[in-house]
Structure 1
Amino acid sequence: MALGVFGGAVALFSLAAMPFDDRTLLGDSVWSKPFKFGFAFFAYALSLAWLLSHMTRLRRTGWAVGTVFAVVGAVDFAVVVAAAAAGTFSHFNGSDTVLNQVVQFAFDFVPVLFLTNAAIGILVLFQRIGDRAVTTVIRWGLLLSSLGMVSAFFILAVGGEGERTRLDANGDEVPLSGGHGVGDPDGSGMFLTGWSTTGGDLRVSHFIGLHGIQVLIGVAMLLSLLAARRAWLGDDRVRGAVVRWFAVGYLGVFATTVWQAVRGQSFIAPDSATIAGFAASVLAAAVGIAVTAARARRTADRPH
């Protein structure tokens, strides 16, 4: 909860600071990255806090693992904010300043975020949390978020083009190694998101995967509201199946954005193959949901 509130506060501060601070890094406001990280931690940490509070078994273990996630996440977030406030790069920075050495040391612990998230995912496999729809949300949501974190690590393997130098917001030359973009490491970024418009960008799939759990929570809440008017949605097994098929389609969209990015293709310039991948993902989810709904309606219409 504390990490989520901290993230939300920094996101609001960063958004408010952008019009008054004209410093930029590669054409984006120095407060762009703190805003994005703040929003991400706000959304994800609060979702994780909700999940952990509803665990029915291994609650102490979940609390301990969640605390490690929060502490490491807070340190990771704090150094990103510190680098932005100083007007320099946090990621891919190869300079030997004291601040950058602290930042890069903190980043060495980022894999712990993935490991703790995966550990929580394993813990919830052995218990039901809420009804079947909620349990499905949590299991698929944690799978998607873990894959989203993996895609962030994948950036280091496919992004960038080796060593180069760029000017920071203070006019100092900073050596950079690698980059977010594939085919165009610095690229031209979209407004606010910074996603490349001139090359592939794995931050798209990172965002989609990481926030899958919030999307699935929204779907489950909508189904619960609709259940008051649609008798066939009253069975939590049906709602769980609908959520599961939606998650399958969402996973397909995530996989398609990964494939698109590694081919050096911008998210806003999909080719026919990428469009086919998105279409297949949506179709699979739609067919699965339609079949589930048809079966549920037949069952609900049978005389008891």
Structure 2
Amino acid sequence: MQALTLIPSTTGPSWWRELLRRERRLALYGALLLALVLPMALAWSLDARELRGVNVWIKPIKFALSIALLAWTTAWFAGHLPAAQRRGRTLSALVAVLIASASFEFIYITLQAALGQASHYNTGDAFHGLMYTLMGFGALLLTATQPWLAWLLWRHPDPRQPPALRLAMLLGLVLTFALGASAGTLLGPRQPPEGGLPLLGWVLSGGDLRPAHFLGIHAAQLLPLLGLLWPQRGWVWACAGAYTAGFAGLVALGLSGT
């Protein structure tokens, strides 16, 4: 008898079947996170508690969406590796690090939301101070999986992939770590101001590093999209330079009010 699976690969839309084929573990992990958004959205509608003027459930919802996007992007890109590499120990280790570090972040953030307490910048006692430090380490490990994957893709290129798109993918993965980790390091000791845009909470007038952090950690999605729209290597390099310059501008704006 064939073993039962959580989501059979023969069902669902073609993009989902392809995602499962490319990296099943990360595909299912991202789907689980998206499924968890539904009860958290229900909690948001029923729970009026706020932290710094924002409903307590917004932060875990945003993190679930962001991590799911990261997991699915990683799964899709891993599909460009040869079959032997996809089944190998190195990719399995990368997947384990991604799931473990992301789960630690998400579980702690969600638990704190349920308790009506802050997860970030909550260092009033030894336990919460330790957890905030561990969150920073976990975030670093999570983003470090992206250049790790870039290294694997560079060593084992997919001959069917257009060169410009491959370059955009590799640059996006590397910049996700380089820009995302650097913004996260700057953001760690600097609590953002209150108020700002609805849901996102960003303050765009200065003193808020969250827009820069967002731009940094999503380079792996945005740069390949540009590579798809304009599949030329020169254009990809120009976009990567402009992307980094835009990130630097947002960092300068974020530091201007601190």
Is TM (by shorter chain) over 0.5? yes
Aligned to 1:193: 200
Q: How does 1:183-262 map to 2 (within 5 A)?
A: 186-196=193-203, 199-223=206-230, 239-262=232-255
The structure richer in strand per residue is 1
Per-residue deviation, 1:34: 0.8
Per-residue deviation, 1:12: 4.0
Aligned to 1:35: 61
Q: Which runs of 5+ in 1 are unaligned?
A: 160-178, 224-237, 266-304
Aligned to 1:174: none
Q: What amino acid maps onto 1:14 in structure 2? A: M
Aligned to 1:299: none
Q: Distance in 2 between matches of 1:196 and 1:3?
A: 32
Q: How does 1:257-276 map to 2 (within 5 A)?
A: 257-264=250-257
Q: Distance in 2 between matches of 1:43 and 1:156?
A: 23
Aligned residues: 225
Q: Distance in 2 between matches of 1:76 and 1:20?
A: 24
Q: Distance in 1 between matches of 2:131 and 2:239?
A: 38
Normalization by structure 2: what TM-score? 0.76
Aligned to 1:70: 99
8 A Cα contact 1:137 1:217, kept in partner: yes
Aligned to 1:172: none
Normalization by structure 1: what TM-score? 0.66
Aligned to 2:186: 154
Aligned to 2:77: 51
Q: Which runs of 5+ in 2 are unaligned?
A: 1-26
Q: Distance in 1 between matches of 2:40 and 2:206?
A: 27
Per-residue deviation, 1:42: 1.5
Q: Deviations over 1:257-294 (max 9, x none)?
A: 112111128xxxxxxxxxxxxxxxxxxxxxxxxxxxxx
Per-residue deviation, 1:198: 6.0
Q: What amino acid maps onto 1:44 in structure 2? A: L
Residue 109 in 1 paired to residue 138 in 2?
A: yes
Q: Distance in 2 between matches of 1:259 and 1:127?
A: 37
Aligned to 2:18: none
Q: What amino acid maps onto 1:254 in structure 2? A: F
RMSD: 2.6
Residue 24 in 1 paired to residue 17 in 2?
A: no
Per-residue deviation, 1:26: 0.6
Instruction: Rate the CA distance shift 1:198–1:27 in 2: closer, same or farther, 3 A.
Output: farther
Instruction: Rate the CA distance shift 1:245–1:63 in 2: closer, same or farther, 3 A.
Output: farther
Matched position secondary structure for 2:138: coil
Per-residue deviation, 1:96: 4.0
Q: Distance in 2 between matches of 1:75 and 1:131?
A: 36
Q: Distance in 2 between matches of 1:9 and 1:96?
A: 33
Q: Distance in 2 between matches of 1:241 and 1:127?
A: 23
Identity %: 28
Matched position secondary structure for 1:123: helix
Instruction: Rate the CA distance shift 1:219–1:199 in 2: closer, same or farther, 3 A.
Output: closer
8 A Cα contact 2:30 2:72, kept in partner: yes
8 A Cα contact 1:187 1:197, kept in partner: no
